[in-house]
Chain A
Amino acid sequence: MVIPYIAVCSSTWEKSISRKWLVFTIYKILTDIISSSLLLSAITFSEHRGFANLSRVDPAKISCTRIQPYFHYLRGGGQIVFTTVIVVDECRLIEPAPIGNARPVKSISGGIFEGEYERFTGAVGMIIGSDLFAAQFAMDILSFQTALFSERGQGMCFICS
C-alpha cells in the first residue's frame, strides 16, 4: 500500500541529485528495514489522546491565541504533541550543536514526505490565522529544536490563498 504513495513522491523529488538519493533511501528503508504497517500508520496517523499529526489533523480543532501561544485543542487541554515522519538530514540530540557563543541547542532536521509538507504548512497557517509566517523551513527540510530559533537562518513560508 505504501509503494504507490512513494511513487507519487518521486515524481517531484527527482529534480536533483539529492532528491534522487532521498527517494532511493526511502525505497531502501521501505523494502529492507521498516515495517511497512508501522510506517504507513505513522504517516496516516491523525490524532490519538494528546498526540496529533499536523499534516492530517483537522486544523479547525486546534487553536493558538495570544494568551495561550502554544497549539492546543479548542475543546481544552494542554499542549498538543505533534508527530511528523521525517527522513533525517542531521541529528544533534545527544551531542548538541554549539552555535557561536550562544548556548548549545539540541536539534534534528529532516525532509517531510511530499504531500505531507503542503498539508503541514497549510495547517500551521490556518491555525495561526496568517498566510505568511516564519518557521524553521528550508525547502522541504524542517528543523526541530529545544529552543527558539534565532533570526539568522530562519526560513519564510508563503501560502498562496
Chain B
Amino acid sequence: MVYFYIIAAESSSPQKKSNKYSGKSSPFARPARSTFHKSTLSYHDVGELQVTLFHPLIDMVLVPIYDATAVNTSFTEVLDNLASLPRLNKDVSNGSCAVVGYSANEWRKGGDPKKRVSFNIQWAILLGED
C-alpha cells in the first residue's frame, strides 16, 4: 500500500515578520539572566503545514482477476500463460469457484510471542461462476 503525502510549506520573509515587533520586545525573546550570557531567540519564521492524503491512489494496488472459465488445459499451463488470460473488471460473485494467488508472511506484534501469518493476495483466477 502506497501513501503519497504532499507537504506544502508556506512561509513569508523573516524580515516582514520581524517588522511586526519593531520597537517592541519579541514574545519569543528569552529574559536576561545575570549569571548567564544573555542569549535571545530571534523570531525566525512561521510555517503553515498542509498535509494531503490522496485516497484514489490507494486503488493503484492492482489485484487482477483472470477469467479461466473457457480454459480447458491443465493448471500449470494456466500459470505459465497467466498474463494472456482475459481480465475481469468486476468482483467475483459469491458461490463462484476461484484460485487465489498469494504470498505468506509471518510477523509478531510487539512482545507477543504468538506468531501471526498474513496472506497477501497477488491475483485471482475465476474457474467457474454460479
Contacts and interface: CB of A to CB of B under 8 A. Distances in A.
B95 interface: yes
Interface stretch (B19-27, B36-44, B63-71): B63-71
A143 to B, nearest CB: 7
Nearest to A135: B117
B11 interface: no
A42 B75 contact: yes
Contact of A144 (B89, B95, B114, B121): B121
A35 B70 CA distance: 8
A49 B79 contact: yes
Contacts, number: 188
A91 B59 CA distance: 15
A17 B78 CA distance: 34
A132 B95 CA distance: 30
A38 B73 contact: yes
Interface in A43-81: 45, 48-49, 51, 54, 64, 69-71, 79-81
B119 A38 contact: no
A45 B75 contact: yes
A54 B75 contact: no
The dominant DSSP class at the B interface is mixed
A94 B104 contact: no
Contact of B127 (A70, A85, A89, A124): A85
B83 interface: no
B105 A93 contact: no
Nearest to A106: B63
B74 A41 contact: yes
A79 B124 CA distance: 17
A25 B76 contact: no
A110 B58 CA distance: 24
A39 to B, nearest CB: 6
A70 B118 CA distance: 10
B104 to A, nearest CB: 4
Interface in A81-118: 81-96, 103-104, 106-108, 110
A151 B75 CA distance: 35
Nearest to A143: B119
Given A69-B105, A81-B102, A108 B73 contact: no
Given A25-B95, A135-B117, A143-B119, 19 more contacts: A25-B130, A34-B69, A38-B72, A41-B75, A42-B75, A49-B79, A69-B107, A71-B103, A80-B104, A85-B97, A86-B99, A88-B97, A91-B93, A128-B106, A132-B115, A133-B116, A136-B118, A142-B119, A145-B118
